Amino acid sequence: MKIFIKIIIFLLITFVLNIQKTFAEEKIRIGLLVPLSGQNKEIGESIIKSTKLAINKINNSSIEILPRDTASNPDTTFKNAKELSESGVQIIIGPIFNKNLIYLDQLKDTFFLSLTNKTINNPKNIISVGINARSQLNTIKKFQKLNELKKTIFLIPKEEYKEEIENAIKQSKIKNTKVHYYDSDPTKLTKQIEKITKYSIRKQNVKDEIKRLEKSDEINKEKKIENLKKRDTLGKISFDSVIISDFGKNLKSITTSLLYTDVLPTKIYFITLNQWFDESLLKETSSQPIYFPSINKENYESFIKNYHEKFGEYPNQLSFLSYDVIGLIYYLLSENNFSFNKKMFIKKNKFKGKVGIFEIKENKISHILNFYKVENNNFKKIF
């Protein structure tokens, strides 16, 4: 009887050890859909390198990344996504571009963490992890409250992402905003900004006031007239802040047009969207201060430094996101005993990454961002 019990105990111990060994050897397989050929090849290669940095940081040899090419083409994307899905991969990072998502709803048992910042009309199994407009407006909303901004106008270009901004305005419930649309064409832009800022009326006010003073008996009217002649406009501006949803040269065109119409950043808050710390903003002193929501600057610079030390080159901006997405997936899997569950992205949760804090709920991800000010050749963190 004792021998029989010992045999049973031995078999149980062996069984448990074998199970432990199996779990230890079981890989956490994560797909990666990025462009590895074509004109966007460098972006894909940079993302692969950043995922390697993330895995080294986690220091878990069971994580296996399976890169596949999208060729920036929807058909190639679907073909390689299907191959990954059929091999049992249930979580895939990518694709990058929104146009490559169109067939992926056919792979219903596979979840895609796309690096796009677009959230409208995505398939149900696509979770956008980019810095979306809603996250940015939620941060701007906080800045509005801190500075008691009551009259904000929103300038939106007539571009393809117009609908995305409109949807974010609705979802964020940002208050006290009046929306204006403009053409990015410089030949039309200035006239449109003149109309929005009521420039012609304010300009005429100067002439009218000079005429009034000339006919009046006011004391020191000559001095007052002299001062008025130095002014371009007269009268209050009907807003206390302007949110400009544009970037690069287009952003510069807007701020230049605002300055031309005598709308100055020293009197009106100039706010824009995430600029990824574009250093050209530092040179535009006339449009400063200008404010924007963003990822964490210190963490971003630390990532760039580590990436450069490791690979001898500088990363693409999307690489920073992909670095965090690896950590996010690992965190959610660890919360679920390292087994995939579709509910992982439904349950309300938070993850602190390098970008900032990820908020997860009902298959949607938003970011709690920081807020920065450009002034005196410097990016200054506000909160």
pLDDT at 2: 52
Regarding the domain with residue range 133-185+237-294, which homologous superfamily does it belong to in the CATH classification? Response regulator (3.40.50.2300)
Provide the pLDDT for residue 344: 86
- Region 27-36: what's the mean pLDDT? 94
What pLDDT score does 155 carry? 97
Residue 18, pLDDT score = 44
What pLDDT score does 24 carry? 42
Provide the 8-state DSSP code for 316. Answer: P
pLDDT of residue 336: 86
The pTM of the full predicted model, rounded to 2 decimals, is: 0.88
Average pLDDT, the chain: 91
Say yes or no to pLDDT of 50 above 90: yes
% of the chain surpassing 90 pLDDT: 81
The CATH 3.40.50.2300 portion of the chain extends over: 27-130+298-366, 133-185+237-294
Residue 311's φ and ψ, nearest 5 degrees, are: -115, -5
- Examine the pLDDT at 13 and tell me if it is beyond 90: no
Q: What is the mean pLDDT of residues 263-282?
A: 96
Query: How far is CA 243 from its chain centroid?
Result: 16
164-181 residue pLDDT tens: 999 999 999 998 889 999
**Spatial contact of 323 and 334, defined as CB atoms under 8 Å apart:** no
In this structure, whether the domain defined by 27-130+298-366 belongs to CATH 3.40.50.2300 is answered with: yes
pLDDT of residue 177: 87
Task: Flag whether pLDDT at 20 surpasses 60.
Answer: no
What are the residues facing 68 on neighbouring strands?
A: 33
Give the per-residue pLDDT at 1.
Answer: 54
Q: Measure the CA–CA gap between 333 and 126, rounded to whole angstroms.
A: 18
Q: How confident is the model over 73-99, as pLDDT tens digits?
A: 999 999 999 999 999 999 999 999 999
Name the DSSP class of 314: P
pLDDT in tens, 223-268: 999 999 999 999 999 999 999 999 999 999 999 999 999 999 999 9
The token pair at 84 is 């990954």
* Helix, strand, coil share of the chain (percent; to 5): 45, 20, 35
In Å, how far are 76, 81, 339 from 102, measured between CA atoms? 12, 12, 27
